[in-house]
C-alpha cells in the first residue's frame, strides 16, 4: 500500500484553479520531486497533503486514512526555516515532541539525536539568529524529522541558500532523510534529479505532464557525476523542455 | 558634537544640576519659588530620616503595585481575547478605543464618589489607567503574529491553547511588554492623581501638603524626586521581568 495516495485532487482559491484532478502515489521510502512553473499548485499540493488546506475535490490518503493537520506520520519543511527566534536550536527541535505531550527530558534526547543526524549537533544551545542559513535549513529538517515521520514534505527548503550550501545539502539530503518517503517541491531541475527517485512536471493547468526517473538510488558519490553524464544531461534537457512548454502553455 | 554625544546621561545630569544650582544662587531665586538642588537633596534626606517620606511612599507603592498588576492582568486578558477573536475584536474594539479616548483621570472624582476616598478608588484609577496600554499593545501583538509561525504550529498539530502558549504569546512578548512599560509609569501617575482627590497618606497627598498647608517648596521638590524614582523603578521592574521572561522561554 502506498504511503501517500492522492486521487482526483483539485483545489481553487476562489475563482483561481491551481490543481485539477491530480493523482499521485508515493511508496514507503520513495522520494518524489515536483517541478513546475509558479502558480502551478506545487506548494498547495504539499499543504493539502499536510492537511493545512481542504481540497475542493478529490481525496488525500496517508497510510490509508484521510489527511489531517498535525499527523505525526508527516513532517514538513517550509520555504523558510520558520525557527522560533525565542527558542534555542535544541528547543526548536523539541517543540513537536513537547506539543505531543512528551516530557522535556525525553524530548531533548530525541531532538539531540535528530540534530546529530542532520549534522547540527554543535548548535544545540545557539539562538536561530546566531547560525547560518544552511544551519537553519538543517535545524528545520531535524524538527520535521524528530517525530520520525513516514512522509516528509519539503517545500523548496533550500531555495534561499547560497549555491554552494544548497549543493552540499542536495548531495546530503537523500542520506539525511533515509527511511522516510519524501515529496519535494522545487524549481531546480538538478536538485530534483539529485534527491528524487521520480521527478514529476506539474503544468500551469494543475496536472502532471511528465515523469522522469531521478538519480537518488545511486551512491551519493556518483550522483553529481551521473547528473553530468550524457544520460543525466538528457534527463535535464527533457525536464527543461517540459518546464518551458508548460510555462508557456 | 562628537564629544557631546559621548557624554553619559550621568554627566549630563550633573551638568544640568550644576547649572541649576549656579543659576538659582546667582539670580537669588527665592527658595519658595525654586530651591537649589542641594537644598532639595538635604530636604529629601530629612524627609527620609524623620519617616515622612516612607509614611507617604508605602501607600503609593501599594496602589501602584495592586492597581498596576490588576490593570495589567485585565489588559492582558482583554488583549489576548481580542487578539485571538476577530468577531470579539469587531464588537469590543470601538468601545475600547472610545474608553481610551476618555481621560481616565477625569473619572477619578466619580470613582472616589463610588468607592470612597480609601485605597480602593486609587487602586481602581491605577488599574484603569494601566489596562488600556496593555490591552491595546497585547491585542496588536497577539493578532499580528507571523502567519507562517501559526501555520507551522498547525502543521505540528498544536491545539489553539498550545499555539497561544508556544507561539503567539512568546512572539508577542515584546509588544506586550512595551505596553507594560508605558503602563508602569502611568500607574504612578494614576496613584498620584487618585491621592490628590482625597486621602490621608501617599506621595500625592504629600505634594498637596507641601504646596498648601506646609508651604514647604523643598519638600515639594523632594516629593517630586521620590515620585520620579518610583516611576523609574516601576519601569526598571518591567525591564527586569522582560529579561527573566526572555530567559525562561529560550
> From CA B182, how far away is CA B189, in angstroms rounded?
11
Q: Which three cell numbers stand for residue B159?
A: 491545539
Phi/psi at A35 (nearest 5 deg)?
-105, 160
Show pLDDT as tens, one digit a residue, over chain A (249 residues).
789 999 999 998 888 888 888 899 999 999 999 998 888 888 999 999 999 999 999 999 988 787 787 788 899 999 999 999 999 999 999 999 999 999 999 999 999 999 998 888 889 999 999 999 889 999 999 999 999 999 999 999 888 788 888 888 888 888 888 889 999 999 899 999 999 999 999 887 778 888 999 999 999 889 999 999 999 999 999 999 988 888 776
Does A84 contact B171 at a Cβ distance shorter than 8 Å?
A: yes
- Give the closest-approach CA distance of A233 to chain B in angstroms: 37
Give the domain ranges of chain A: 4-73+149-247, 81-148
Q: In this structure, are B23 and B126 located in the same domain?
A: no
Strand A57-62 relative to strand A31-35, pairing: unpaired
Residue B224 class from Cβ within 10 Å (0-12 exposed, 13-18 middle, 19+ buried)? middle
pLDDT of residue B1: 54
Cβ pair B249:A80 closer than 8 A: no
pLDDT in tens, chain B (250 residues): 556 666 688 888 899 999 999 998 999 888 888 999 999 999 999 999 999 999 999 999 999 999 999 999 999 999 999 999 989 999 988 888 887 787 777 788 888 889 888 889 999 999 999 999 999 999 999 999 999 999 999 999 999 999 999 999 999 998 999 999 999 999 999 999 888 887 889 999 999 998 887 788 999 999 999 999 999 999 999 999 888 888 777 6
Distance from CA of A103 to the nearest CA of B (A): 15
Q: Using CB atoms and an 8 Å cut-off, which of residues 124-183 of chain A contact chain B?
A: 127
Q: Does the distance separating the beta carbons of A84 and B149 come in below 8 Å?
A: yes
Nearest to A99 among B151, B162, B173 (CB): B162
What gap in Å lies between CA A33 and CA A197, rounded to an integer?
Answer: 8
Asked if B91 and B11 sit in the same domain, the reply is no
What radius of gyration, in Å, describes the C-alpha atoms of chain A?
18
Q: Which three cell numbers stand for residue B31?
A: 527658595
ipTM: 0.90
DSSP state of A27: -
Shortest Cα distance from B157 to chain A (angstroms)?
Answer: 3
CA distance A134 to A78: 14
Write out A46-104 in H/E/C secondary structure: HHHHCCCCCCCEEEEEECCEECCCCCCCEEEECCCCCCCCCCCHHHHHHHHHHHCCCCH
Contact B142, B168 (CB under 8 A): yes
* Residues B102 and B3 occupy one common structural domain: no
C-alpha A224/C-alpha A218 separation (Å) is 10
B155 closest CB neighbour out of A69, A87, A88: A69
Contact call for residues A10 and A206 (beta carbons, < 8 A): yes
Among B151, B162, B249, beta carbon nearest to A86 = B249
**Residue A80 neighbours by CB distance under 10 Å:** 18
Tell me: do B195 and B220 sit in the same domain: yes
DSSP 8-state secondary structure symbol assigned to residue A124: T
Name residues whose C-beta falls within 8 Å of residue B8's C-beta, 6 or more positions apart in sequence: none
B124 and B45 in one domain? Answer: yes
* Segment (H or E) for B121: helix B119-143
Distance CA A179, CA A148 (A): 9
Asked if B3 and B62 sit in the same domain, the reply is no
Could you tell me if A179 and A30 are in contact, meaning their C-beta atoms sit under 8 angstroms apart?
Answer: no
The C-alpha cell at B179 is: 505596553
Q: Taking the model in full, what pTM does it have?
A: 0.83
Q: Which fold has domain A4-73+149-247?
A: Rossmann fold (3.40.50)
Q: Which residues of B touch A72 (CB under 8 A)?
A: 157
Q: Which residue of B has its CA nearest to A90?
A: B250
Q: Tell me what pLDDT residue A178 has.
A: 83
Count of domains for chain B: 2
CATH number of the domain encompassing residue B242: 1.10.3720.10
Q: Which of A78, A80, A99 sits opposite B157 (nearest CB)?
A: A99
B79 and B5 housed in the same domain: no
Q: In 3-state terms, what secondary structure has residue B216?
A: coil
The DSSP bridge partners found for residue A153 are: A76, A183
Q: Which run of H or E residues covers position A9?
A: strand A4-13
> If you ran DSSP here, which 8-state letter would residue B107 be given?
G
Would the CB atoms of B149 and A82 count as touching at under 8 Å? yes
A91 at B interface, C-beta within 8 A: yes
When CB atoms are compared, the residue of A70, A80, A100 closest to B155 is A70
Listing DSSP states for B39-100 in one string gives HHHHHHHHHHHTTHHHHHHHHHHHHHHHHHHHHHHHHHHHHHHHHH-HHHHHHHHHHHHHHH
Cβ B203 vs Cβ A119: under 8 Å: no
> Residue B247: closest CA among chain A residues belongs to which residue?
A86
Chain B residues 142-161 with CB within 8 Å of chain A: 148-149, 151-158
> Whose CA is closest to B79, among B138, B26, B150, B24?
B138
Residue A207, pLDDT score: 80
What is the domain extent for residue B152? 36-249
User: Is B142 in the same domain as B170?
Assistant: yes
* B82 shares a domain with B179: yes
| Chain B interface test: which of A70, A73, A183 (most B C-beta within 10 Å) | A70
Q: Which residues of A touch B171 (CB under 8 A)?
A: 84, 86
Q: What is the pLDDT of residue A163?
A: 84
Cβ within 8 Å of A, B 168-197: 170-171, 173
B170 contacts in chain A (CB < 8 Å) = 84, 86-87
B244 close contact with A: CB closer than 8 A:
no
Candidates A53, A99, A123, A146, partner chain B, best to mutate (most B CBs within 10 A): A99
Residues 9-48 of A with CB under 8 A from B: none
User: Are the CB atoms for B55 and B62 separated by under 8 Å?
Assistant: no
Is B77 in the same domain as B158?
A: yes
B177 and B196 belong to one structural domain? yes
Please indicate whether, in this complex, the C-beta atoms of A69 and B157 are within 8 angstroms of each other.
yes
Do B98 and B48 lie in one domain? The reply is yes
Asked if A98 has any chain B CB less than 8 Å from its own CB, the reply is yes
pLDDT of residue A249: 63
Positive/negative CA dihedral, B46, B51, B52, B54 = positive
Amino acid at each position: 500500500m502506498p504511503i501517500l495516495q492522492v486521487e482526483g485532487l483539485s483545489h481553487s482559491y476562489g475563482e483561481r484553479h491551481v490543481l485539477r484532478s491530480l493523482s499521485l502515489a508515493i511508496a514507503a521510502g520513495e522520494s518524489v520531486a515536483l517541478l513546475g512553473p509558479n502558480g502551478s499548485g506545487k506548494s498547495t499540493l504539499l499543504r493539502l497533503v499536510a492537511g493545512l488546506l481542504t481540497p475542493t475535490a478529490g481525496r488525500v490518503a496517508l497510510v490509508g486514512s484521510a489527511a489531517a493537520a498535525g499527523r505525526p506520520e508527516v513532517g514538513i519543511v517550509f520555504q523558510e526555516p520558520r525557527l522560533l527566534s525565542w527558542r534555542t536550536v535544541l528547543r526548536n527541535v523539541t517543540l513537536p515532541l513537547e506539543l505531543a505531550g512528551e516530557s522535556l527530558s525525553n524530548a531533548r534526547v530525541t531532538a539531540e539525536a535528530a540534530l546529530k543526524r542532520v549534522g547540527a549537533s554543535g548548535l544545540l544551545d545557539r539562538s536561530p539568529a546566531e547560525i547560518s542559513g544552511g544551519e537553519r535549513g538543517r535545524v528545520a529538517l531535524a524538527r520535521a524529522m524528530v517525530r520520525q515521520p513516514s512522509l516528509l514534505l519539503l517545500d523548496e527548503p533550500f531555495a534561499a541558500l547560497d549555491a554552494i550550501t544548497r549543493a552540499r545539502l542536495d548531495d546530503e539530503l537523500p542520506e539525511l532523510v533515509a527511511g522516510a518517503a519524501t515529496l519535494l517541491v522545487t524549481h531546480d531541475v538538478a536538485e530534483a534529479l539529485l534527491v528524487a527517485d521520480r521527478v514529476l512536471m506539474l503544468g500551469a493547468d494543475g496536472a502532471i505532464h511528465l515523469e522522469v526517473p531521478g538519480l537518488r538510488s545511486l551512491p551519493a558519490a556518483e550522483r553529481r557525476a551521473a547528473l553530468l553524464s550524457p544520460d543525466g544531461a538528457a534527463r535535464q534537457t527533457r525536464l527543461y523542455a517540459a518546464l518551458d512548454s508548460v510555462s508557456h502553455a | 558634537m562628537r564629544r557631546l554625544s559621548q557624554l553619559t546621561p550621568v554627566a549630563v545630569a550633573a551638568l544640568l544640576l550644576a547649572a541649576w544650582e549656579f543659576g538659582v544662587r546667582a539670580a537669588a531665586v527665592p527658595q519658595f519659588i525654586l530651591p537649589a538642588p542641594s537644598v532639595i537633596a538635604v530636604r529629601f534626606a530629612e524627609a527620609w530620616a524623620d519617616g515622612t517620606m516612607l509614611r507617604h511612599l508605602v501607600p503609593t507603592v501599594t496602589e501602584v503595585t495592586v492597581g498596576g498588576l490588576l490593570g495589567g492582568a485585565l489588559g492582558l486578558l482583554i488583549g489576548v481575547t481580542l487578539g485571538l477573536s476577530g468577531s470579539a475584536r469587531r464588537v469590543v474594539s470601538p468601545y475600547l478605543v472610545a474608553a481610551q479616548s476618555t481621560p481616565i483621570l477625569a473619572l477619578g472624582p466619580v470613582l472616589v464618589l463610588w468607592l470612597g476616598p480609601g485605597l480602593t478608588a486609587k487602586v481602581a484609577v491605577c488599574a484603569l489607567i494601566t489596562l488600556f496600554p496593555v490591552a491595546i499593545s497585547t491585542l496588536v501583538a497577539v493578532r499580528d503574529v507571523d502567519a507562517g509561525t501559526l501555520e507551522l504550529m498547525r502543521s505540528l498539530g498544536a491545539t489553539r491553547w498550545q499555539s497561544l502558549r508556544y507561539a503567539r504569546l512568546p512572539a508577542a512578548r515584546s509588544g506586550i511588554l512595551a505596553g507594560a512599560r508605558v503602563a508602569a509609569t502611568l500607574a504612578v501617575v494614576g496613584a498620584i492623581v487618585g491621592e490628590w482627590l482625597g486621602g490621608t497618606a501617599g506621595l500625592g497627598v504629600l505634594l498637596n501638603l507641601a504646596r498648601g498647608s506646609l508651604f514647604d517648596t523643598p519638600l515639594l521638590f523632594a516629593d517630586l524626586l521620590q515620585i520620579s524614582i518610583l516611576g523609574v523603578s516601576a519601569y526598571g521592574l518591567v525591564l527586569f521581568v522582560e529579561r527573566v521572561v526572555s530567559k525562561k522561554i529560550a
